[in-house]
């Protein structure tokens, strides 16, 4: 795969936007490999994702963003430019369960993810051997009522020190404070919640699902915002359960869902396929 | 298909229950066609469904219930006996949307349902032509704040007059009062709710789903209890949606879900496959 | 919804195609409501679907096709222009089963389909009452080994007489001859096959699925080509079955699949979302 | 969980079978934890699975099989007795892909599987480091046209030497010879095939699926028989694909399917939930 640039752009809808964006690429000699557009008529918003080969593009990389800015600014738009050979750095936050962590590492090694994983943070020491095995730095930062603020400060420092672009809460099982979320660049923290949101927000969703007697359970990959389990949803999936499934069975079946839904959400993000607006996502897959 | 009897039985779990129930059938010369059991270890409850051919069974129909009662009583059990050739009578309650009504009638005519449909009740006159077409009596009982109690009385009289066994709320879009629910035999009112419960309880679930930006929508067939949309779930299913789906698309896609989920729930009930305990169901399919 | 024009266009891939197409719309004052592109790198093919409002478009309708032709021709492309207020005329071909026919008519009446249904053709007289009920002309053309060719001639005349754009084989259960397929405009005959193609091609797929002991059954909506059940697939879906499901249960469960999969395929076609190339489809939904 | 015994039994259908089996357990003081029955009316066959606690059962373990044999023999039945604390020994056969292997090992360690994994056999050396990491013996037995028979002999010896009960072909990608299959106890070799069987039997199913333009891909976990990819199916599942998915995407999406479908099939087997008859399975889950 040759390196590509990806433009994610949104602005108030008006005539000629597809042409404007396509012409920007074409006029500079770009070869588009993917282009997808969406208009949310309720929101009056145009959203687009265009990916083109850098090779042969007439603008040097550092000039692409300012050049497109000159187009976006009068349209009242917002945009990002990303390069496929600029590899994002992910931190994975875990608690005691290893299935999502192992799965993310496996996908990174299998090149399903274009990302580096230099850092694991946990409130428990249990998964340190996995970090060791794969040569990833592991920080055990236990959380108590009293140290939460200080540990959070430490977490932010680590993210900075390791130049982390994306935080994955891979069953971290702790609530991230609004201050933390405000500090870290927005829509760069992805959580896997083990229910079909908005059903069963908060703790123990499998126990609640069992109590409610649902016939299907789900998992949700979403960006973290200051409201618990209420951020923009990237991906969801479900699996059927029956009266024979006890809570332990829901947990077991749910683990397979969690791995896959989290992986899809992370991959969409890493492929620069996700545009957030309001509390929603457009996933250009 | 030769006529069968079906026993639905539950009691506190103890040793020998499968043998006790199977021996009751065998000792009376019954030929079992289906037998399924479940133990809910949390609830300490044994639940079973046994279906056998009536032909050749040594007990006359009217003596089966009392005879099994003698077994059930010392076990602290509850049970029902149903005969496949005793055709239940369903009333369908509708509002303005015709898709569930037409679907239920079609399935009844296609013999997917073993039931009669002598009665349709609606708070709108719109669907009366369908009733006429299929020779079903239609009562237009508009509901206002002032007449709700009186209309409810009228509804109960109609159910009695038409000897209705099962009420299907096929997008009736009105809340049934607790008094009504207490009066009609319990777990004989089935509702289709157009969301994946417990997500989006109450009105306008598709609008709420759209607002929330979910990636999957669902429908739930459940028994109606006095708490809104909180009764025992019989069946659920889901369908994937994307950012391209507006509220109208969710409604359109949801209609297919509603028809199928409601139909499955009704069929499970009519096949005597559903055992309710606590706020849950066992569906022996 | 204001009337729109839709362009479906494909040509060998090269630089600047998105811009070319978007500029054509923009230069003529068009307001794009949907635009989606795809590049099949294996086939070296660019495919696009663009939909824009006719109101305010500077070209009169009859000049759009020739004007775009001047762009397409040097690119070696093929294209179609369709208008949302030009309502296609569908003929539905049936045998004895009514579920797909009723479902298609219901969707047309519910405005899920933008199409007229002036004609039903069947090799059995059974479904004539449905045609009568909805005021649709019904032709009973029984097929035998001896009259097949003559009846086929009659079918073609009827399609011409009724100015039919789209033929839906809604469980017609007869093989359409290659001559017929060659005569009728290509990719305008849609069939529902009651299996997950390419599994269980030909007759009795549910019996074959039962014999094979599959755990999931499917249905496939596809364009008809001269090779049996081998045409371009538009839509597929599946449903889970168990050892408890006998052939009759597969047939019953399959009917729900057939209705939904056929409806989705037909809707994709009527919304001008389907582009066929080779033996494949791109579905821009 | 207290240890249990599980009886899998089938015989020609006749009256009183549920009672006979249940009485056998009850008369010996057994406490049933699961009981499920099925009658295949086409095959005229009764099939049952009963699981009960060993503690308090009056028959010593070694007498259970002969005692039940006395019941089974006059009924013309076949049966197996298995104990939950007799841990089966699995050999995993792999080629170069590691995802199924890692997943199986993870599930064994997470106690989703009650099994030991003492042996990995491969026709490639690639995955030996994984074996090392988990302390599993790894045999690299490359297969060529010339040595196939000899290697097969070696494989059989290894299975014997390691006292293997169950062979898992975890993407082994080689055809097992009928002689091998005849030698190893039947229905104790499980394969994962990367298609929705019977579609795309044999090599390169993802390439074939891509060529055919299917909208859904699948995976199948099945027992290996002498006919390629034609053995009794234990589990299948599917995932949706679109025109945007190239062969590499099908392979990537398929890996998630393969892991999950294989895991479910293996777990069903290890939980003694699978009864094979003819070329079909009953899965009592």
Looking at chain B from residue 226 to 255, which residues have their Cβ under 8 Å from any Cβ of chain D? 240
| Range B37-66 burial, b when 16+ CB lie within 10 A, else e | bbbbeeeebbbbbbbbbbeebebeeeebee
Q: Which pLDDT score is estimated for D1? A: 79
| Range C189-208 burial, b when 16+ CB lie within 10 A, else e | bbbbbbbbbbbbeeeebbeb
D87-139 pLDDT tens trace: 999 999 999 999 999 999 999 999 999 999 999 999 999 999 999 999 999 99
Q: How far from D89 is each of B93, D1, D62, D160, CA to CA, in Å?
A: 58, 20, 20, 11
pLDDT at A280 over 90: yes
Measured between its terminal Cα atoms, the distance across chain A in Å is: 17
The CATH code of the domain that includes A269 is 3.40.50.170
B53 → chain D, closest CA residue: D15
Whether A120 contacts A91, CB under 8 Å: yes
Whether B171 contacts B258, CB under 8 Å: yes
Q: What is the mean pLDDT of residues C73-98?
A: 98
Would you list the DSSP string of D35-74? EEEEEETTTTEEEEEEEEESTT-SS-HHHHHHHHHHHHHH
Which residues in chain A touch residue D263, judged by CB atoms under 8 angstroms apart? 256
D141-158 pLDDT tens trace: 999 999 999 999 999 999
* Of the residues C34, C68, C83, the one at which a domain ends: C83
Q: What is the mean pLDDT of residues C9-21?
A: 97
A148-207 pLDDT tens trace: 999 999 999 999 999 999 999 999 999 999 999 999 999 999 999 999 999 999 999 999
Same domain, A169 and A79: no
Whether A29 contacts A56, CB under 8 Å: yes
Same domain, A252 and A186: yes
Same domain, A134 and A203: yes
B285 → chain D, closest CA residue: D38
pLDDT at B32 over 90: yes
Residues spanned by the domain of D58: 4-83
Q: What percent of chain C has pLDDT over 70?
A: 100
D22-68 pLDDT tens trace: 999 999 999 999 999 999 999 999 999 999 999 999 999 999 999 99
Q: What is the mean pLDDT of residues D167-175?
A: 96
pLDDT at C1 over 90: no
Q: What is the mean pLDDT of residues C98-125?
A: 98
Same domain, A133 and A258: yes
Round the average pLDDT of chain D to a whole number and report it: 97
Which residues in chain A touch residue C50, judged by CB atoms under 8 angstroms apart? 18
DSSP three-state, residue D13: coil
Do β-strands C189-193 and C166-169 pair in parallel, antiparallel, or remain unpaired? parallel
Q: Where are the beta strands (DSSP E) in B194-262?
A: 216-223, 233-240
Give the neighbours of chain C: at least 3 Cβ pairs within 8 Å: A, B, D
In a mutational test of the D interface, the residue from A36, A103, A237, A238 whose CB has the highest number of chain D CBs within 10 Å is A103
Q: What proportions of chain B, in percent to the nearest 5, are helix, strand and coil?
A: 35, 30, 35
Of D199, D213, D236, the CB nearest to C280: D213
pTM over 0.80: yes
CA distance D48 to chain C (A): 12
- ipTM for the assembly: 0.95
* Of the residues A50, A83, A116, the one at which a domain ends: A83
Q: Which pLDDT score is estimated for B262? A: 98
Of A214, A246, A282, the CB nearest to B236: A214
CA distance D229 to chain C (A): 11
Which residues in chain A touch residue C29, judged by CB atoms under 8 angstroms apart? 15
Report d(CA D65, CA D73) in Å as an integer. Answer: 11
**What is the sign, positive or negative, of the torsion defined by CA atoms of B26, B28, B31, B33?**
negative
**Token match 């265009």: residue?**
A50
A23 with C25: Cβ contact below 8 A: no
C244 → chain D, closest CA residue: D38
State whether residue C30 sits within 8 Å of chain A by CB.
Answer: yes
In a mutational test of the A interface, the residue from C1, C9, C26, C215 whose CB has the highest number of chain A CBs within 10 Å is C26
Q: Specify the DSSP class assigned to residue C225.
A: -
Same domain, A176 and A96: yes
CA distance A199 to chain B (A): 4
Same domain, D123 and D241: yes
Same domain, A96 and A143: yes
Which residues in chain A touch residue C41, judged by CB atoms under 8 angstroms apart? 33
Report d(CA C273, CA C261) in Å as an integer. Answer: 15
In a mutational test of the B interface, the residue from A202, A213, A250 whose CB has the highest number of chain B CBs within 10 Å is A213
Which residue in B239, B203, B204 sits closest to B219, CA to CA? B239
Same domain, D50 and D173: no
The CATH code of the domain that includes B32 is 3.30.70.260
Q: Which pLDDT score is estimated for A1? A: 79
Of C42, C214, C233, the CB nearest to D214: C233
* Of the residues C61, C83, C105, the one at which a domain ends: C83
A196-250 pLDDT tens trace: 999 999 999 999 999 999 999 999 999 999 999 999 999 999 999 999 999 999 9
CB-CB neighbours of C239 under 10 Å: 17
Of D17, D26, D39, the CB nearest to B16: D26
Token pair, residue D174, equals: 């080689």
Q: Which pLDDT score is estimated for B283? A: 98
pLDDT at B1 over 90: no
Q: What H or E segment, with its residue span, contains residue A233? A: strand A233-240
Q: Of how many residues is chain C composed?
A: 285
D23 with B19: Cβ contact below 8 A: yes
Same domain, D151 and D183: yes
Q: Which pLDDT score is estimated for A63? A: 97
Same domain, A52 and A155: no
Q: What is the mean pLDDT of residues C124-136?
A: 98
Same domain, A66 and A109: no
Q: What percent of chain A has pLDDT over 70?
A: 100
CA distance A41 to chain C (A): 9
Which residues in chain B touch residue D22, judged by CB atoms under 8 angstroms apart? 18-19, 22-23
DSSP three-state, residue A282: strand
Which residues in chain D touch residue C199, judged by CB atoms under 8 angstroms apart? 196-199
Q: Which pLDDT score is estimated for B181? A: 95
Active site residue C249: no
State whether residue C97 sits within 8 Å of chain D by CB.
Answer: no
Same domain, A155 and A27: no
What are the residue numbers of the active site of D? 229
A38-85 pLDDT tens trace: 999 999 999 999 999 999 999 999 999 999 999 999 999 999 999 999
**Token match 């949706």: residue?**
D240
A216 with B196: Cβ contact below 8 A: yes
| Alpha helices (H) along chain A | 17-27, 61-75, 99-109, 128-133, 148-161, 178-183, 205-212, 247-270
B101-125 pLDDT tens trace: 999 999 999 999 999 999 999 999 9
Token pair, residue A29, equals: 């000699």
Which residues in chain A touch residue B206, judged by CB atoms under 8 angstroms apart? none
Of C22, C31, C240, the CB nearest to A22: C22
Q: Which pLDDT score is estimated for B143? A: 95
D102 with A106: Cβ contact below 8 A: yes
Total number of domains constituting chain D: 2
Instruction: Specify burial of residue B146 (Cβ count, 10 A radius: 0-12, 13-18, 19+).
Output: exposed
Whether A6 contacts A36, CB under 8 Å: no
Token pair, residue A212, equals: 């409610």
């Amino acid at each position: 795969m040759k390196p590509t640039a990806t433009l994610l752009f949104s602005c108030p809808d008006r005539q000629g936007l597809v042409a404007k964006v396509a012409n920007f690429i074409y006029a500079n000699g770009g070869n588009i490999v993917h282009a997808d557009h969406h208009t949310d008529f309720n929101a009056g918003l145009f959203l687009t994702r265009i990916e083109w080969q850098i090779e042969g593009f007439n603008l040097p990389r550092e000039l692409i963003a300012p050049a497109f800015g000159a187009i976006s600014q009068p349209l009242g738009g917002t945009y990002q430019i990303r390069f496929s050979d600029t590899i994002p750095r992910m931190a994975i936050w875990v608690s005691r369960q290893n299935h999502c962590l192992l799965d993310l590492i496996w996908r990174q090694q299998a090149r399903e993810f274009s990302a580096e994983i230099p850092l694991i943070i946990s409130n428990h020491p249990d998964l340190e051997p996995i970090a060791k095995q794969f040569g990833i730095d592991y920080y055990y930062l236990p959380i108590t009522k009293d140290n939460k603020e200080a540990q959070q400060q430490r977490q932010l420092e680590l993210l900075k020190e390791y130049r982390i672009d994306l935080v994955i809460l891979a069953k971290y099982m702790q609530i991230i404070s609004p201050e933390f979320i405000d500090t870290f660049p927005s829509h760069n923290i992805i959580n896997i919640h083990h229910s079909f949101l908005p059903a069963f927000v908060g703790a123990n969703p499998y126990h609640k699902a069992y109590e409610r007697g649902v016939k299907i359970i789900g998992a949700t990959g979403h960006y973290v915002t200051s409201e618990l389990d209420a951020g923009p949803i990237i991906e969801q999936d479900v699996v059927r359960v029956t009266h024979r499934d006890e809570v332990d069975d829901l947990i077991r079946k749910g683990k397979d869902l969690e791995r896959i839904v989290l992986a899809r959400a992370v991959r969409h993000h890493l492929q620069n396929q996700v545009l957030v607006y309001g509390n929603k996502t457009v996933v250009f897959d």
